Structure 1
Amino acid sequence: MSVVEMVLVLLAGAGAGIINTVVGSGTLITFPTLVAFGVPPVTATMSNAVGLVPGNVTGSFGYRRELAGQASLVRRLIPASLLGSLVGAYLLLHLPEDTFIAVVPVLLVLALVLVVVQPPLQRWLTARREASGADAVTLDTLGTPRMVAVTAAVFLCGIYGGYFAAAQGILLIGFLGLLMPLALQRMNALKNVLVLGVNVVSASTYIVVATWGGGTHPLDWTAVGLVAAGSLVGGVIGARVGRRLPPLLLRACIVVLGVVALYSILGMR
């Protein structure tokens, strides 16, 4: 990478760290940036997953107050995230790259649709929670059938996140909001922890494979370092001041970059 490209990847990592903490689709910034600078799609996905972990950590820590009282939910749901992530990472590493190039445009379109529909979805979820009058959720209040549904949804989101991380946070917010009467900020805190679990597992898997896999699935360590440094700072900013950023501007940037990524992937066919 040139110096200019390195600076742009660093800035993309910071933007992704902010957006992942606040909205949940930062990969739609870093992934197209890496692809545009010549990183192969599978390598870009793996390097991006590893690089975004520091931002997930700082973002989750920044929402620690909203996590109060949710320890039982986290303990119950985190195994589903971890297992789903392993399945997704396995699929990414074992399916041919042609399959990835064929599947990613579909996932990108899904992610972009989720980004666009998130505002009306959030308004509907807020109205639903206010009508229920619930602000806290426990395993007892959920009941077994709903807990099974929530766990299954988290598992499926984990598979999606382990294979292609873009907008997995938005997907989680959608499922959790439909299934649990939980305040939005508390739900966002839970989402950040579950996404952190997914990304830690997938990133660890990619590092092991890149180190001992005989070079079949390499990481771009320059990209990893730049995205990691940017996302680390971005996660802190997102937890502190990210809510003040104009949502429309954030969403517009995500959609534009997502379209760029879609065009880049389609051009590789």
Structure 2
Amino acid sequence: MPVPYIILILITGIAAGFINTLAGGGSLLTMPMLIFLGLPSAMANGTNRIALMVQNIVAITNFRRKGFFDWRLSLMLGIPAVLGSVLGANLAISLPDNVFNKILAVVMLLVLVLILWQPQKRLEASEENLSKKSKIIAVITFFFVGIYGGFIQAGVGFIIIASLTLITGMSLVRVNSIKVFVVAIYMVSSLAIFIISGQVNWVLGLTLAVGHGLGGWLGSNFAVAKGDKWIRVFLVIAVVMMAAKLLGVFELFA
């Protein structure tokens, strides 16, 4: 892999980590960038998960240190998510590149709407409801969350936050602590499938992981109001351009 490519991926990883800290949706940059650099769609998907795995492990450690963690409920939701992620990952590997790229482009635009709408800030936790019925609904929901996460992953955090808040009424802090654990645990199974299938570029994946770490550190230290607004403008432009490229819009004018 040429050194300029590695540098570009590192920069993209830093931007993604920064965006994840301020807004979320960093994979909307890293996934298309890996594809544009020549990786097949399945390999780009698998490679991107290395950085996300590292990022979520760090987040779990921080939540545990601060006392916001529920092992029992996290495992209850994580197990169906793992089962779903196996199905999703196998589906992602089996799809032709052109089909996957079109699906990714549409998902990118939909997730961009979620990022701009910011449902995690609009949702207010009502009275906490962890009844047997709500837990069953949550378990079923997280099976499908796992399918989506294993398939594409981008924007899954918004889906988890919205669904878990509406179903259980838990505070956003608790929801986020469960989110990072569930994502990390199903990421193990889906990443394993990509590794076994030979769909991981370790050099770029580890470079992305370093970038995510640096970006997260920068974002947490410089999360100011103007920075948040600026990064959203940048994200909108980048995602729309990348989605247009994946959909072949530019080729129509060539």
Matched, 1:34 2:34: yes
> Following TM superposition, by how much is the alpha carbon of 1:30 offset from its aligned partner in structure 2, in angstroms?
1.0
Name the residue aligned to 2:167.
179
Which residue identity lines up with residue 242 of structure 2 in the other structure? A
Q: Residue 123 of structure 2 corresponds to which residue in structure 1? A: 125
1:209 counterpart = 2:197: yes
What pairs up with 1:5-84 in 2 under 5 angstroms? 5-20=5-20, 23-65=23-65, 68=68, 70-84=70-84
- Which structure 1 residue ranges, 5 or more long, are not aligned? 211-217
Distance in 1 (alpha carbons) for counterparts of 2:35 and 2:50 = 16
2:110 partner amino acid: L
- Report the CA distance shift for 1:9/1:197 in structure 2 as closer, same or farther (over 3 A): same
Unpaired segments ≥5 residues, structure 2: none
SS at match of 1:64: helix
TM-superposed CA distance for 1:166, in Å, is 0.8
CA-based RMSD of the aligned residues comes to: 2.6
> Cα offset for 1:195?
1.4
**Alignment length, in residue pairs?**
249
Matches of 1:25 and 1:198, distance apart in 2: 18
Using structure 2 for the length normalisation, give the TM-score: 0.85
SS at match of 1:166: coil
Q: What is the match of residue 88 of structure 2? A: 88
CA contact (8 A) 2:69 2:177 kept: no
Segment of structure 1 superposing worse, 28-37 or 248-257: 248-257
2:144 corresponding residue in structure 1? 156
C-alpha change, 1:22 and 1:153, in structure 2 (3 Å) is: farther
Report if aligned partners of 2:80, 2:142 keep a CA contact under 8 Å in 1.
Answer: yes
Percent of matched pairs sharing the same residue = 30
Distance in 1 (CA, whole Å) between partners of 2:66 and 2:22 is 13
Match of 1:215 in 2: none
Q: Note the alpha carbon deviations across 1:117-147, whole angstroms, 9 max, x for none.
A: 11xx234312xx2xx3x4xx5xxx4112211
Q: Give the TM-score normalised by the residue count of structure 1.
A: 0.81
Q: Are the aligned partners of 1:115 and 1:255 in contact in 2 as well (CA < 8 Å)?
A: no
Q: How does 1:186-225 map to 2 (within 5 A)?
A: 186-210=174-198, 218-225=199-206
Distance in 2, matches of 1:264 and 1:222, equals: 25
Is the 2:10–2:210 contact (alpha carbons within 8 Å) kept by the matching residues of 1?
Answer: yes
